[in-house]
Structure 1
Amino acid sequence: MSIHVIKMPDLGEGIAEVELVAWRVLPGERVVEDQILADVMTDKATVEIPSPVVGQVLALGGEVGQVLAVGAELIRIEVEAQEAVSPSPAGGGPGWGQPPQAAQAVQAVPATQAGQPPSQPSPREGRSERPIASPAVRRRAWELGIALQQVAATGAGGRIMQADLDAHVAAHGAVHGAGVPAGVRPVQRHDEEQIPVVGLRRRIAQKMQESKRRIPHFTYVEEVDVTELEALRAQLNAKWGAQRGHLTLLPLLVRAMVLAVREFPQINARFDDEAGVVTRHGAVHLGIATQTEAGLMVPVLRHAEAKDLWASAAEVARLAQAARAGKATRDELTGSTLTITSLGALGGIVSTPVINHPEVAIVGVNRIALRPVMRDGVVVARQMMNLSSSFDHRVVDGVDAAQFVQALRGYLESPTTLFVE
């Protein structure tokens, strides 16, 4: 037997340190060659670190959330005799002598959420009190009065799913809320849960903080009558939906934004505030804010100016699916010049979206609602929607922002103009 010390490899691109976001193994566990040991996150991607040897884990080199330098000790493995190898060099490349592809990059989502269950026991077995679950699952468990530590997990990497809560309620009932057994009375609760902000959640927090710190935001809200737009969308879906696919509101809004930024190129821009340079882009690369179980991601619809409604719809659907499955690549998650954000049916009346730095604007879509509106002195029912858009006041004047939103409004309220060049 010999001891093999695996050190944090050099992942390239000038990366000097990474964040440890998940352990896939436990001390005392036997591992095989190419088994994933840990997930680490750079500023661009989550990377899986594989084992180059067969043996038993002796010690882990850090806690989840800890930042490790390239060359720092990651893990110690007691190597089985027939597998004895010399210790890996500090800063050895991914796979330690294997091609770089041995350390698989999974863009912006922890590998345990990428749809591939680990080949070893769940990270929760023998672990501490910290169960793995999405915010939605945690909230529902709290509402039901269920301690997540008591729930059997069936998701990848020991993740607790909504179905696991359903099974637990069916077997044991709940303290309060949905599924309360008859006769159970509410009780006081004094439990607390500390949730480390690590991995993608930390990256999102840092990005939002940096954006708000560096950018003086101002938000402009305007209501839009989308009655005619919705009528057109219904006609297009009735005629072409079966052959070309179903259209949501989003591709029509994309088209309106493409036309509006031709009139207001200062909106489709990125501001390098350190260099003091604003770059206006001819290409419209639209970031589409997408909620996933891992957190908010912004896949990019590239060259929206060159796509028709159905091409935009298909690409947006593909990008959203890739992001939610943890399959989006680095190129699909970077390079946007302007962003759209929407909470869909939960969109509320008004929002104050945060700009996706270093862009200078973001367009927020609120929900469509049937409202009474005055038209020619008569109250009529119209489908109304608010646009809540934020701008970087350093480079976008209030009048420019207002005129841009009014241009959007004009295209959306007179949808035939969307097809006039």
Structure 2
Amino acid sequence: MAKEIKVPQISEGVDTAVISEILVSKGDKIEEDQSVISVETDKATAEIPATAGGTIKEIKVSEGDEVSVGDVIIVLEDDGKDSEEKEEGKASDEEEETLANKKEEAEKEEEEPDSDEKEKDESKSAKKEEKQKEKKEEDDEDEDDDEEDAEKKKSKGSEAKKDKDSDKASSKEVYASPGVRRLARELGVNLEEISGSGESGRITEKDIKEYKEGGSKKSSSSQVKLPDFSKWGAVENKPLNNIKKTTAKNVLASWQSVPHVFQFGEADISGVETYIEDHKDKVEKAGGKLTLTAILTKIVATALHKFPTFNASIDMDKEEMILKKYVNINIAVATEDGLLVPVIKNADQKSISDLSVEISEIAKKAREQKLSKEDMEGGNFSISNLGGIGGTNFTPIVYHPQVAILGISRATTKPVYIDGKFEPRSILPLSLSYDHRLIDGADGAGFMNWLVKALEDPYEALLG
């Protein structure tokens, strides 16, 4: 029985990975525990070792494929079966050689007739010559047929290789498991023309079946061909890592499916900055860092109870909204490999000090690529703070299936007219993006105004 090498459990909470490199080739002899495939997850890159030794008969994946735990990636040759095939082939060769010898002897007998045969009349010789001529013509026709069959096989092999190369190339451009790719080939469906409805834009079996029944194609804008940039100077092609690829698919899917509206506001956070300065030492002793993000996380958690549509999702198939009774908030974290958005669970039930500690810990896990699957799931609303980098305003993209995201830019000192005179105050720019299918302009303005009031006077906001 053929031996199969399957995808093992790569790490805790990680069930899928992307093939980043194939380290072996068909026909290679490998040993047990030898690295054969390199994979990339959201958190790390790892090599998969062979669970058995032998000769590689088939590699069932290509670079760029997404695989799950338990998927077969390599098939090794069955030595017993191969030896039987060799014995059968040997026996068949011997039979062919015996038949060839018999045929040769028969031809010699025909070429050397006895003296009685020589005395037969010329008509019989003529018939014999005619018969031999007919046989020769039949042999020539058989040779022509054999040549034609060989050409057909060669053409078929070339087409098969072309299809295989095409499939390998396309596997780098779509996000689908090997099983889904097989189904697509069986149904004659081009994966590049399908929009994935699965997590991170993954194409599912349902997507393929719906497309076969007349589903929609991808937006043509996602398939615009790039020019040859090397015509104008030196270039370097660098593949995207898994985080970048996932982010690209997610934001594209969000932008195509969510009708965005952007709301801007400014808040005087002079009082908040004083609060941070007065309490930062206490929070540091608890193991965290008191930041504006932690304070805004607490304020937003309270706002989501007052504005429940911002804590919801929309289901267009059922034409209903899903109102969530829990408050989980995603915090965007910039890492060397790209943007990650881990989740702070039950943010409304935690103090500002607790949130400061948890945000510090989860940001560290994100930068060290130690986030678990649970750390990334279940968020209802997102906060993205670019204040440490700079800028006056930006319009973040809603993190689907959420319906809103808050962007924070850098605070600047501005003169504010208070009690008949100008005073220098610290003004914070805020950007709110929301899904217009569920939230209208009045709700967006109301949510923003409440956040501004809560930052400037928390007690008035909570009592109002």
Q: Which TM-score tier does this pair reach, normalised by the shorter chain?
A: 0.5 to 0.7
Q: What whole-Å deviation, never above 9, does each CA across 1:179-234 have from its counterpart, x for those lacking one? A: xxxxxxxxxx9321223346332221111111011110011010111001110111
The RMSD of aligned alpha carbons is 4.0
Q: What whole-Å deviation, never above 9, does each CA across 1:79-128 have from its counterpart, x for those lacking one? A: 99xxxxxxxxx99xxxxxxxxxxxxxxxx9xxxxxxxxxxxxxxxxxxxx
| Corresponding residue of 1:178 | none
Match of 1:203 among 246, 250, 268: 246
Contact 1:256 1:418 in 2 (8 A): no
| Corresponding residue of 1:331 | 374
Deviation at 1:345, TM superposition (A): 1.7
Query: What SS is found at the alignment partner of 2:325?
Result: coil
Match of 2:411 among 347, 362, 368: 368
User: For structure 1, which runs of at least 5 residues remain unmatched after alignment?
Assistant: 12-16, 81-89, 92-107, 109-188
Query: What SS is found at the alignment partner of 2:409?
Result: strand
Query: What SS is found at the alignment partner of 1:256?
Result: helix
Q: Are 2:313 and 1:314 aligned?
A: no
Take 1:308 and 1:388, find their aligned partners in 2: how far apart are those partners? 25
Deviation at 1:334, TM superposition (A): 1.0
Contact 1:64 1:198 in 2 (8 A): no
Take 1:258 and 1:22, find their aligned partners in 2: how far apart are those partners? 39
Query: What SS is found at the alignment partner of 1:345?
Result: coil
Match of 2:317 among 266, 271, 274: 274
Contact 1:21 1:41 in 2 (8 A): no
| Corresponding residue of 2:23 | 25
| Corresponding residue of 2:39 | 39
Take 1:193 and 1:399, find their aligned partners in 2: how far apart are those partners? 48
Contact 2:44 2:369 in 1 (8 A): no
Contact 1:340 1:362 in 2 (8 A): yes
Deviation at 1:322, TM superposition (A): 1.7
Instruction: Label 1:333 to 1:72 Cα distance change in 2 as closer, same or farther (>3 A).
Output: closer
Query: What SS is found at the alignment partner of 1:367?
Result: coil
Q: What whole-Å deviation, never above 9, does each CA across 1:221-253 have from its counterpart, x for those lacking one? A: 101110011101111124554356431111110
Query: What SS is found at the alignment partner of 1:291?
Result: strand
Take 1:251 and 1:70, find their aligned partners in 2: how far apart are those partners? 37
| Corresponding residue of 2:269 | 226
Query: What SS is found at the alignment partner of 2:375?
Result: helix
Query: What SS is found at the alignment partner of 1:267?
Result: helix
Take 2:248 and 2:259, find their aligned partners in 1: how far apart are those partners? 18
Match of 1:292 among 335, 353, 357: 335
Q: Are 2:95 and 1:52 aligned?
A: no
| Corresponding residue of 1:170 | none
Take 1:251 and 1:292, find their aligned partners in 2: how far apart are those partners? 19
Compare the two structures and name the one with the higher strand fraction: 1
Instruction: Label 1:342 to 1:61 Cα distance change in 2 as closer, same or farther (>3 A).
Output: same
| Corresponding residue of 2:98 | none
Compare the two structures and name the one with the higher helix fraction: 2
The total of aligned residue pairs comes to 312
Contact 2:395 2:432 in 1 (8 A): yes
Take 2:261 and 2:460, find their aligned partners in 1: how far apart are those partners? 29
Instruction: Label 1:200 to 1:29 Cα distance change in 2 as closer, same or farther (>3 A).
Output: farther
Take 1:19 and 1:353, find their aligned partners in 2: how far apart are those partners? 28
Take 2:287 and 2:5, find their aligned partners in 1: how far apart are those partners? 52
Query: What SS is found at the alignment partner of 1:230?
Result: helix
Structure 2 residue identity aligned to 1:225: D
Instruction: Label 1:191 to 1:372 Cα distance change in 2 as closer, same or farther (>3 A).
Output: same
Take 2:36 and 2:460, find their aligned partners in 1: how far apart are those partners? 54
| Corresponding residue of 1:260 | 303
Instruction: Label 1:61 to 1:311 Cα distance change in 2 as closer, same or farther (>3 A).
Output: same
Instruction: Give 1:172-187 correspondences, 5 Å limit.
Output: none
**Larger Rg: 1 or 2?**
2
| Corresponding residue of 1:64 | 63
Take 2:274 and 2:350, find their aligned partners in 1: how far apart are those partners? 22
Take 1:267 and 1:21, find their aligned partners in 2: how far apart are those partners? 37
Instruction: Give 1:237-248 correspondences, 5 Å limit.
Output: 237-239=280-282, 241-243=284-286, 245-248=288-291
Take 2:55 and 2:433, find their aligned partners in 1: how far apart are those partners? 54
Segment drifting more, 368-377 vs 29-38: 29-38
Take 1:238 and 1:417, find their aligned partners in 2: how far apart are those partners? 27
Structure 2 residue identity aligned to 1:294: D
Segment drifting more, 277-286 vs 241-250: 241-250
Take 2:455 and 2:309, find their aligned partners in 1: how far apart are those partners? 21
Query: What SS is found at the alignment partner of 1:311?
Result: helix
Take 1:378 and 1:214, find their aligned partners in 2: how far apart are those partners? 48
| Identity of matched residues, % | 29
Deviation at 1:378, TM superposition (A): 2.2
Instruction: Label 1:222 to 1:403 Cα distance change in 2 as closer, same or farther (>3 A).
Output: same
Contact 2:399 2:405 in 1 (8 A): yes
Q: What whole-Å deviation, never above 9, does each CA across 1:314-363 have from its counterpart, x for those lacking one? A: 11122212222222111110110111111232241111100010111001
Structure 2 residue identity aligned to 1:365: I
Structure 1 residue identity aligned to 2:20: A
Instruction: Give 1:98-117 correspondences, 5 Å limit.
Output: none
Contact 2:259 2:437 in 1 (8 A): yes
Take 1:335 and 1:47, find their aligned partners in 2: how far apart are those partners? 27
Q: What whole-Å deviation, never above 9, does each CA across 1:59-85 have from its counterpart, x for those lacking one? A: 8655432457999863466899xxxxx
Q: What whole-Å deviation, never above 9, does each CA across 1:255-301 have from its counterpart, x for those lacking one? A: 11122222211111122223222112221100111122232221100
Take 1:348 and 1:39, find their aligned partners in 2: how far apart are those partners? 37
Instruction: Label 1:420 to 1:322 Cα distance change in 2 as closer, same or farther (>3 A).
Output: farther
Instruction: Give 1:91-240 correspondences, 5 Å limit.
Output: 190-197=233-240, 199-239=242-282
Contact 1:216 1:393 in 2 (8 A): yes
Instruction: Label 1:317 to 1:55 Cα distance change in 2 as closer, same or farther (>3 A).
Output: farther
User: For structure 2, which runs of at least 5 residues remain unmatched after alignment?
Assistant: 80-177, 180-199, 201-231
Contact 2:267 2:427 in 1 (8 A): yes
Query: What SS is found at the alignment partner of 1:229?
Result: helix
Contact 1:54 1:79 in 2 (8 A): no
Structure 2 residue identity aligned to 1:226: I
Query: What SS is found at the alignment partner of 1:387?
Result: strand
